[in-house]
């Protein structure tokens, strides 16, 4: 599942609903607009592992992915 969010903050509830219906193995979001002051727990999805890379130094950008834990993701 792929989403270009242009700020995931106000779209997270809709994303949760889509994930609960579709149950994808991988969810990728571009243009998250997240920053280090926003904690990972804010975007917790049950049975998924969150991986994110925020843009630093300016507004916008950033990517994140949720990988279903049953796929045993491992950050290298």
Question: What digits encode the pLDDT tens for the residues 9-45?
Answer: 999 999 999 999 999 999 999 999 999 999 999 999 9
pTM equals 0.91
The average confidence (pLDDT) of the chain is 95
Strands (E), 1-76: 2-4, 26-30, 48-53, 63-68
CA-to-CA distance for 9 and 16, rounded, in angstroms? 12
**More confident call, 14 vs 74:** 14
49 three-state secondary structure: strand
What is the bridge-based pairing of β-strands 2-4 and 26-30? parallel
Other CB atoms within 10 Å distance of the CB of residue 66: 24
pLDDT at residue 64 above 90? yes
Position 50 scores a pLDDT of 96
How many residues in total does the chain contain? 76
Position 59 scores a pLDDT of 85
């Amino acid at each position: 599942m792929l989403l270009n969010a242009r700020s995931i903050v106000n779209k997270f509830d809709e994303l949760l609903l889509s994930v609960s219906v579709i149950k994808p193995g991988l969810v990728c979001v571009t243009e998250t607009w997240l920053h280090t002051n926003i904690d990972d727990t804010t975007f917790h999805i049950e049975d998924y592992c969150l991986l994110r890379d925020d843009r630093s130094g300016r507004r916008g950008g950033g990517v994140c992915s949720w990988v279903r834990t049953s796929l045993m993701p491992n950050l290298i």
